[in-house]
Amino acid sequence: MATQKPHAVCNDVTKALFLVEYRRHGSMAQACREAGIGSRQTIHNWMDADAAFAAEVADAKEDVIDGLEFTLYQVATGQLEFSSPQVTALIFSLKGNRPEKYRDRYELTGKDGGPVEVKTIEVVKDYGSATVP
């Protein structure tokens, strides 16, 4: 029978270590492993109980995504060389983490989220009294 890891002590040191590891690895699960925290659920529980910590986790996530953007910029400007699959992985990660900026498709809505109003305008040009041969 597998033994369960004890829950990490919720204190400022453990939270700070988690944040450092999250920024370093970009993965909440990996950051938990590195910081000796049993699971991501522990982090979510801490976030639910501590709004300031939740804001710090959100900030750390933004730092990770900023790092992805910077890496893609370096690849695009020739400062780094990545394989095509690596670039594709970066792009998909950015699309998933910042869809408002990197989505391929946009949905249009009308006023107050309703349907888009389409008007057909008929244009008639008056050519005067000229006759067509």
- CATH number of the domain at 57, please: 1.10.10.60
Supply the pLDDT for residue 123: 79
Per-residue pLDDT tens over the stretch 23-35: 999 999 999 999 9
Per-residue pLDDT tens over the stretch 63-93: 999 999 999 999 999 999 999 999 999 999 9
Indicate the pLDDT class of residue 3, thresholds 50, 70 and 90: very low
Supply the pLDDT for residue 128: 67
Supply the pLDDT for residue 133: 57
Task: Provide the number of structural domains found in the chain.
Answer: 1
Residue 128 lies in a domain: no
CA dihedral of residues 74, 77, 80, 82 (deg, nearest 10): 100
User: What residue numbers bound the domain in which 52 lies?
Assistant: 12-113
Residue 32 lies in a domain: yes
Q: What is the pTM of this model?
A: 0.70
Q: Nearest CA to 80 among 94, 95, 90?
A: 90
CB 69 within 8 A of CB 97: no
